[in-house]
Amino acid sequence: MQKFLIILFFLLLNSSYVFSDEKNYFLSLKKNKVYVRYGPGKNYPIKYIYKKKFLPVKVIDKKENFRRIIDHKKNSGWIHSIMLTKPNSLIVLEEKIVFKKYPNLMKLKLFLLKLSNVIFVRMSGSGSSILAYFYSKKAAENARRKFKKKFNSYWCITSKTI
């Protein structure tokens, strides 16, 4: 009986934690094309379209099968929950500081982002390199050739991730 009362007392003290539904959390876009709507339903018009798989978004509200999200640029809207997945990417905000000081690095990143079959492009944590991940070896090789043609003074290699 004493164990039961202690557990009940603990649950009552922490009921907001135990029974609450975490309101703000991060997810990633599941597909390369995700519709963002003005409201929580397919009958609401499309506000804009994300075209970047794995883009991290913050869930700030939910209604049935829809989640209200906000991205790193403060764009918000409603996305069907089936188009979201557990987070597997992040955005390095320090890039903004580096790109402001060295605009040529931003040109490199933007060029890489516009190439076909790119998954994502990131600056390394130390800022010493810009990495681009592609869906296939062929796509990576094509990107390397295009990159070397446009930016021949920069070092560029392809490698396999493990």
Residue ranges of domains in the chain, CATH in brackets: 16-85 (2.30.30.40), 94-150 (no CATH)
Whether the model pTM is above 0.75: no
In the three-class reduction of DSSP (H, G, I as helix; E, B as strand; rest coil), residue 61 is classed as strand
Q: Per DSSP, which regions of 15-152 are E strands? A: 25-29, 34-37, 46-50, 56-63, 66-70, 76-80, 84-85, 118-123, 130-134
Q: Residue 144: CB partners within 8 Å, gap ≥ 6?
A: 156, 157, 158
Write the pLDDT tens digit of every residue in 17-76: 333 345 788 898 999 999 999 999 999 999 999 998 888 899 999 999 999 999 888 899
